Structure 1
Amino acid sequence: MLIILLGVLVGLLLGLTGAGGGILAIPALTLGLGWTLLEATPVALLAVGMAAAVGALDGLRKGLVRYKAAGLMAGAGWLASPVGLYLAKLLPAAALMVLFGAIMMFVSGRMFRQATDGCSEIDAAHGKNCRINPDTGRLVWDTKCSTTLACIGAVSGLLTGLLGVGGGFLIVPAFRRFSDVPMHGIVATSLMVVALVSLGTLAHLLYQGVSLSGEASVFIGATLAGMIAGRLIAPKVSGKRMQQGFAVVCAVVSVLMMGKVALIS
């Protein structure tokens, strides 16, 4: 029951907040179930990847996904994720947990500040490296735009391999900062990138001999169910309150992860 509950919770937050909600998959498995980071990574990648794929398919059906941009970011992410996997093997588990906690705290502070201010520094930025052609409704593909999206994808892929996170918490604000794509298109495109990069990284792990347990299947199924429920509920929930609540959850989880490392040490 605990596995099902945690999976539904992760999926629900993924559906409500967009791809950034996937950052809670690793803490759910390590803190909630007591798994090691090594055990949790492939399960989190598959759960988040499949759940994000459900959201991305919904976005494709509605015509929201910028599939060329998603393809470029995912391609760069695939190239960078093996580097993250290699670094993860070199670093001690405690160091990875501390790094994960620090990233969660950063995400928490940024999201809470944006929700409280009502508009973010991203919205106020004037320079947009990727612009939509008003005549065609498509992105203007030039060197600046292509390089920007490739860098976003590469950093996302690096973190996916290193920490087992989907990278949506990075893709959404970065894509929003450097493009004038509407927010619903950004979230849908981010879900597509997260799905592709997460599942691609998982394939690399499976090739290396990593296996999944029966408990993993239960968690993944519950995450998918939560994702579908979150997508249905999202239009009825205040975006500001949801951001603030998610930010608080991230901060609490970050402190718990840091505390666990301190206790082990």
Structure 2
Amino acid sequence: MVLESVLGTAIGLVMGLTGAGGGILAVPALVVALGVDMVTAAPVALIAVGLSAMLGAIDGLRRGWVRYKAAMLMSVVGGLLSPLGAAIARLLPVGLLMIIFGCVMLVVAFRSYQKATCSADSENCENANKACMLSPSTGRFIWNRRSALTLAGIGAVSGLFTGMLGVGGGFIIVPALQRFSNVSMHGIVATSLMVIGLISAVTVSQAVSLGLQWPTHLTWFVVFALVGMFAGRAVSPHLPARTLQMAFAIVCVGVAFIILAKGFGVL
């Protein structure tokens, strides 16, 4: 119970602070620390991540941070691609799946590090070329073909990885929205949490329909993930975004090497 509680709290805290990382860290935590097999770990992680994300999204809606139209578009497209990702996962050997997971985490860590170290001037120069821009007068997305296709593409990729790797998709959504939009970090995190919650619900429903066997000892993992989310959402406005991004990059690198070692049979 103690280990499950500590790990669940840590997962919820990371997701509450960054809008990403919950799923990508939950699966390794379940597999490496708790000895859960990869097939069981994926849906359990999504349940913990999905419930936590919905709580965070509700908080974001209350504060007016969620770009709900964009979130709905990404969720619908992601939900359609999630079953395809799950089907691909069933065809791949567990070792290969873990190697893919580790490589994806290294890419995410590198992108997070880049974002944390880039200068304010370079960020401002990029704004003019971004596909998804907020209107200065209304504060809402300027919808056109380019912005709609970009958001749909983000949803498609996140949904595919959600189904294939059992992650919430935030590790794709957050960097992508930073790259392709001028939404504030608070808005990106809140919008990401809403998408994670909705896509996770679709993927979990599929796992339940296929006969998911719930390990009762992991209930505490889910409960304390919710506790961690509450704590993360309370603390996040008081921490610099760059500090959070750098810490997330470091954590991702460490976990990626553990997962790669297990995938190659070293651990």
Q: TM-score range by the shorter chain?
A: over 0.9
SS in 2 for 1:35: coil
Q: Distance in 2 between matches of 1:144 and 1:239?
A: 28
Per the alignment, residue 129 of structure 1 pairs with: 131
Distance 1:208 1:119 in 2: 48
CA separation of 1:3 and 1:241: change in aligned 2, threshold 3 A: same
- Offset at residue 119 of structure 1 (A): 4.8
- Distance (whole Å) between structure 2 residues aligned to residue 4 and residue 137 of structure 1: 40
CA contact (8 A) 1:19 1:52 kept: no
Change (3 A) 1:141 1:113: closer
Find 2:203's aligned residue among 193, 201, 204. Answer: 201
Partner AA of 1:104 in structure 2: M
Secondary structure in structure 1 of the residue aligned to 2:264:
helix
Equivalent positions of 1:113-262 (< 5 A) are: 113-119=114-120, 124-125=125-126, 126-262=128-264
Q: In 1, distance between residues paired with 2:193 and 2:29?
A: 20
Relative to 1, partners in 2 of residues 1:180 and 1:136: Cα closer, same or farther, differing over 3 Å?
Answer: same
Q: Does the residue aligned with 2:265 lie in a helix, a strand or coil?
A: helix
- Distance, in Å, in 2 between the alignment partners of 1:112 and 1:251 is 10
Residue 164 to residue 121, structure 1, CA distance change in 2 (3 Å): farther
- Measured in 2, the distance between the counterparts of 1:129 and 1:82 equals 28
> What's the counterpart of residue 99 of structure 1?
100
- Relative to structure 1, the CA distance from residue 195 to residue 213 in structure 2 (aligned partners, 3 Å threshold; closer, same or farther) is same
Residues 142 and 220 (structure 1 numbering): CA distance in 2 closer, same or farther, change over 3 Å? Answer: same
> Structure 2: where are the runs of 5+ without partners?
none
Give me the whole-angstrom Cα distance separating, in 2, the residues matched to 1:120 and 1:150: 29
> Is contact 1:42-1:212 (8 Å) kept?
no
The one-character-per-residue Cα deviations of 1:30-65 (angstroms, maximum 9, x if unpaired) are 111111110101110010111111110000001111
Q: Which moved more, 1:162-171 or 1:242-251?
A: 242-251
Please give the per-residue CA displacement for 1:185-206, whole angstroms capped at 9, x wherever unaligned: 1111111001100111111111
| Aligned-residue CA RMSD (Å) | 1.8
Deviates more, 1:108-117 or 1:122-131: 122-131
Contact in 1 for aligned 2:50/2:201 (Cα 8 Å): yes
Distance (Å, rounded) in 2 between the aligned partners of 1:7 and 1:144: 39
| Matching residue's letter, 1:260 | K
Q: Deviations over 1:82-120 (max 9, x none)?
A: 000100000100010000000111111221232133459
TM-score by length of 1: 0.94
Where does residue 38 of structure 1 map in the other structure?
39
Bigger mean CA offset, 217-226 vs 237-246: 237-246
Alignment partners' CA distance in 1, 2:187 and 2:69: 13
- What amino acid maps onto 1:30 in structure 2? V
What do residues 65-96 of structure 1 show as CA deviations (whole Å, max 9, x unaligned)?
Answer: 11111000000001000000100000100010
CA distance in 2: counterparts of 1:253 and 1:101, whole angstroms: 8
Q: Alpha-carbon deviation of 1:240?
A: 2.5
For residues 193 and 9 of structure 2, the distance between their equivalents in structure 1, rounded to whole angstroms, comes to 18
Counterparts in 2 of 1:120 and 1:173: CA distance versus 1, 3 Å: farther
Q: CA deviation at 1:123?
A: 5.6
- Secondary structure of 1:263 counterpart: coil
Pick which of 120-129 and 169-178 moved more: 120-129
Q: How many residues align?
A: 265
Which portions of structure 1, spanning 4 or more consecutive aligned residues, are displaced by more than 6 angstroms? none
Relative to the length of structure 2, the TM-score reads: 0.93
Q: Residue 217 of structure 1: CA displacement?
A: 1.7
Amino acid at match of 1:9: A
